[in-house]
Structure 1
Amino acid sequence: MDVRRAAERYPGGDPEAGIESRHAFSFGPHYDPGNLRFGALIACNEERLAPGAGFAEHPHSHTEIVTWVAEGELTHRDSAGHETLVRAGDVQRLSAASGVRHVERNDGDRPLTFVQMWLAPLAPGGDPAYEIVPGIADATPYAVPEAGAMLHVRRLAPGERTAVPDAPYVYVHVVRGDVALGAERLGPGDAARLTDPQGAEAVGVTPAELLMWEMREMRERA
């Protein structure tokens, strides 16, 4: 188990424009050859947007982009004609495939905080696709077969336990609250990278919300 604390994330964004970003992996101008990916996961960004702030239209390709809103509302628009409002508890996925452009903004009147996770697909190409699952229930898995991955959302009460998936790669990200994972205590923004965990459990220390990625072995990409 490799624990990465919130304070270790790489800062980014544009604070003067109301955008504050914290990156778990190499991103943009920050390049660390030892921290490029874990399993299928190539980015896990914590984003904070002030009211009226946002990311102008920009392109993506060959990436599965999954977004989890922690606070506020995210406005999404893309070149395939989708325009949605993503709220806390919704799972949004944009499959960039051969190429798509999108806009992400905080058009609300209060701060927006979201976690955006990028996964490498098992094979490149295909047509872009978009999906939003409103108000996903606790412990309901969300599959991303294009990346050989599954997202587990857990909301834990103090003392409540949840099994960590037995998989080649598991990435655990704490959205809010405190969680015990083995001998480690994880707080908001902390993450753990587990390789071949067997029988591991996460326990709520306080009321907590966590995201767990279950990922299988990666094939060589074409």
Structure 2
Amino acid sequence: MIELRPFEGIGRFRNDWLNAHHHFSFGQYHDRGRMGWGSLRVWNDDEIAPSAGFDPHPHRDMEIITFIRQGAITHRDNLGNEGVTRAGDVQVMHAGTGIVHAEYNREAEPTRLFQIWIVPDRTGVEPGWASREFPRMAGSGLQVLAGGRPGDAELGALPLYADAAVLAARLAPGERATYDMAPGRAAYLVAATGSISVRNADASSRDGVDASSRDGVAVSGERAIVIEAGAEETELVLVDVRG
């Protein structure tokens, strides 16, 4: 199954500093049919105004991944961690036994990001935070940014306490990337910029969808998918989880 989740149909929230869109139920947006996708619980598409952000607040027992699409975010937490994650890069926070953090846009332009929550396989772990750079180069295919699957650490991915992975790719116009999916896995992907078509890798199959920027594509029960960029350079993020 490959299902299109159009951006215009997802949840939304707006105030004077935050313009948020929710691919799954979150906050005041509740849809019983969209409570997550496998162990993927939250995918928020946020725009944060300059000199604004999320004041200190707590989390526990959740893996929280932030992919910066534009601008930068400054992180601070009660463990003493502080750092800036910039466009194209990713940060991971293990909420574990409990963490209090703040995320601010200290830049002169809006910050746009994807905030992704994955339910961990282990609860009560030591909380933590880390970030890594993502080389934004076309032709490199899908790269694992964060993961807890066997082999992800050897690829340089930030660790997750979950049988899941967050991958990203920068595709040139018309470039294709094939992604193999193990049995029992599900995937959710969004083009941060550009557009994509997502098809079953079986050449005889016509199962697939065309997705514009910020649309969601939910995938399950497939052996492999082919992702093809549209007429412009495209950046996409894909999350692989237990189905």
Q: Taking structure 1 as the reference length, what is the TM-score of the superposition?
A: 0.92
The aligned amino acid for 1:186 is: A
The aligned amino acid for 2:173 is: P
- CA gap of 1:13–1:120, structure 2 versus 1, over 3 A, is farther
The aligned amino acid for 1:161 is: R
- Does the 8 Å CA contact 1:164/1:197 hold for their aligned counterparts? no
- Give the 3-state SS of the residue equivalent to 2:36 in structure 1: coil
Matched with 2:18 is: 19
Q: Give the count of matched residue pairs.
A: 215
**Structure 1 Cα separation of the partners of residues 164 and 210 of structure 2:** 25
Matched, 1:133 2:150: no
Matched with 2:229 is: 204
- Does the 8 Å CA contact 1:174/1:188 hold for their aligned counterparts? yes
**Structure 1 Cα separation of the partners of residues 174 and 197 of structure 2:** 10
**Structure 1 Cα separation of the partners of residues 13 and 31 of structure 2:** 14
- Structure 1 gaps of 5+ residues are 218-222
Matched with 2:108 is: 109
| Larger displacement relative to structure 2 (42-51 or 193-202) | 193-202
Superposition RMSD in Å: 1.4
Write the mapping of 1:66-105 to structure 2, written as runs, cut at 5 A. Answer: 66-105=65-104
- Does the 8 Å CA contact 1:165/1:214 hold for their aligned counterparts? no
Matched, 1:186 2:203: no
Deviation digits for residues 130-151 of structure 1 (CA, Å, limit 9, x no counterpart): 1111234653213432110012
- CA gap of 1:211–1:164, structure 2 versus 1, over 3 A, is same
Q: CA deviation at 1:106?
A: 0.8
Matched with 1:6 is: 7
| Larger displacement relative to structure 2 (128-137 or 185-194) | 128-137
Deviation digits for residues 140-196 of structure 1 (CA, Å, limit 9, x no counterpart): 213432110012211111111101231310111111101111242111111111112
Instruction: Among all aligned residue pairs of Structure 1 and Structure 2, give the percentage whose two residues are the same amino acid.
Output: 29
Q: Taking structure 2 as the reference length, what is the TM-score of the superposition?
A: 0.84
The aligned amino acid for 1:2 is: E
- CA gap of 1:13–1:102, structure 2 versus 1, over 3 A, is farther
Matched with 1:195 is: 220
The aligned amino acid for 1:171 is: Y
Matched, 1:144 2:170: no
Matched with 1:157 is: 172
| Larger displacement relative to structure 2 (52-61 or 127-136) | 127-136
Q: CA deviation at 1:199?
A: 2.9
The aligned amino acid for 1:212 is: L
